[in-house]
Each structure stands twice: as structure tokens, then as C-alpha cells.
Structure 1
Amino acid sequence: MSTVTKGEEFGPLEVTVTRANLVRYAGASLDFNPIHWNERFAHEVGLPDVIAHGMLTMAFAGSLVTDWAGDPGKVLEYGVRFTRPVPVPDDADGATVTFTGKVSEVSEGSPAIAKVLITAKCQGQTVLGKAVARVAVD
């Protein structure tokens, strides 16, 4: 990673989430909550459709940062708040989530630490809040 400066922006990372992704993630995470696969159940509990797992959305946002950092080991801290679900329609197109990052501050020191603010949007709406990573930079 070259010199990092305050205000630097990176991305976007556009991810298409399909129902097939949800099935695979459910199997890997053992999260078989019916809101992630049963449309009838999702509607009964007030959701607009089956929704993506929050941790899957968080993982995609994390990959934006690790790709930018060039080394997952440089990510020292990472957290988000789940502010809005990602509805995933039952079609071939799925849902597109767009992730971007912006360096909001860079500390002095060795290594310098960059505070990265992550934006995640689906259908023009923010789906992750307070998405922040702290990354060791050279």
C-alpha cells in the first residue's frame, strides 16, 4: 500500500447477492433462520422479502477493506451496525450492494493507523451504519 492520506476514497465494490448465496452462507454459518430463505415467513414478520444475513453483508464490506489494505492482517479493528436489511428477490438478478471506503483520519506513528469509514448501500439506502475499520498502514 502506498502512502495513505486523509480523504482518500476507494471502491466501489459491487456485490450481487442471490438466494443461492444465502443458501451457501446459511450452510457455512449454520444460520438457518427462515427470514433468510422463506419468503412467506419473512412477510409474516414484516420484512419486504427474504433478507441477506447481516454478517454476510458485513463480510462483503470487510473484503472491501482487506482488498484495499492488501493484507487482511493489517485490519486491527472492524465493526458495523446493521441499520437496514438487504432484501433479496427470488430472481436471477438478486440484490446489488455497493460498498465504498473513505479514510477519515491517519494517525502518526509506526505503523500509522488509518480510520476507514465504510458505506454500504442497496437500492439507494444505507444498510450498514457506523461501519468503521482501523488499518495499519505503511
Structure 2
Amino acid sequence: MLADSIKAGDVLKPFHIEVTEQMVRKYGEVSGDFNPIHFEDRAAKEKGFPAKIIHGMLSMAITSNIVEPYLQKGYWVKSYEMKFKAPVFVGETVTIEGTISALEKESVTIDIRVSSPTYPQVAKSEILLHVYK
């Protein structure tokens, strides 16, 4: 288990990912969310955004990739909360950073911060991982 090798305060390896139009299109197809603010600059501008924005749940899905190493080592996601602070624009590269905020016998809590070139914090989240029994 990873619990033997981690401690509260540990920083996870950050990652960067460009959110492409293809990703947004595929997410729209899977989710059924075809709100024009995700696909048309004009529609996004009419709602006050300077360009198309990605789906909030797409950013949540992308962010969860930071815990993948833990999932491969015997943990599962027990809870996942995200607060959206600002939009991510289609084509931007987001940065996901995580810190172990709490470690218990059978669980790990990870605080996560998501940023973009436009906004220093687009979202923050907390993922609680629990060990398989």
C-alpha cells in the first residue's frame, strides 16, 4: 500500500493537460450536454465569456487523474468534491496540483488546486481515497 510511503503534507506530482476542442466535443457527446457556450464562441460571448468554456464536469474528470497512482495501488475514490471558481477556456492548458492533507489508517485525503493561464485558481477540490479491504 502507498500508506507506508506517504505522509500528510506530501505534494503530488503536478500535471498539465491541454483541453482540446475534441475533448469538449467528445464529452458533450457522452454527457448529452450540448450547451452552445461549450461549442460556439458567439454563444459564450453572449453569456459574458470571452471564448468557449469547457464543461465543469469535464474539468472534474480531468482533475481526478492526479490520484491515478493511488488507484493502481489499492485505493478507491470514496468521495470527491469540487468547487468551481472560474471558467476554463477551450484550448487552455490546465495545471493540477495536489497535497496530502490527511492520512489515516485506511484513507488518504488529497486537496487539489486547478489553475489555468487565465486564472490562478479555476477550481479546488478534495478527494478522499479509501483502501480496498
TM-score range, shorter chain: 0.7 to 0.9
4+ residue runs of structure 1 moved beyond 6 angstroms?
none
Establish whether residue 127 from structure 1 lines up as the match of residue 126 from structure 2: no
The answer for unaligned runs of 5 or more in structure 1 is 89-93
TM-score where L is the length of structure 2: 0.88
Query: C-alpha separation between the residues in 2 aligned to 1:11 and 1:48?
Result: 31
User: What RMSD over aligned residues (CA atoms) do the two structures have, in Å?
Assistant: 1.7
For residue 63 of structure 2, the aligned residue among 61, 64, 76 is 61
Take 1:81 and 1:114, find their aligned partners in 2: how far apart are those partners?
19
> Residue 104 of structure 1 corresponds to which residue in structure 2?
101
Higher strand proportion, which one?
1
Can you list the C-alpha shifts for 1:45-84, whole angstroms capped at 9, x where unaligned? 101110011000000111111x131348521111101110
Identity score, percent: 32
Match for 2:29: what amino acid?
A: G
Question: Which ranges in structure 2 are unaligned for 5 or more consecutive residues?
Answer: none
**Aligned pairs (5 A) from 1:1-138:** 1-2=1-2, 3=4, 4-65=6-67, 67-71=68-72, 74-88=76-90, 94-107=91-104, 109=105, 111=106, 113-123=107-117, 124-129=119-124, 131-137=125-131
Q: Aligned equivalents of 1:15 and 1:42: distance in 2? A: 22
Given the two structures, how large is their TM-score scaled by the length of structure 1?
0.85
Aligned residue pairs total 128
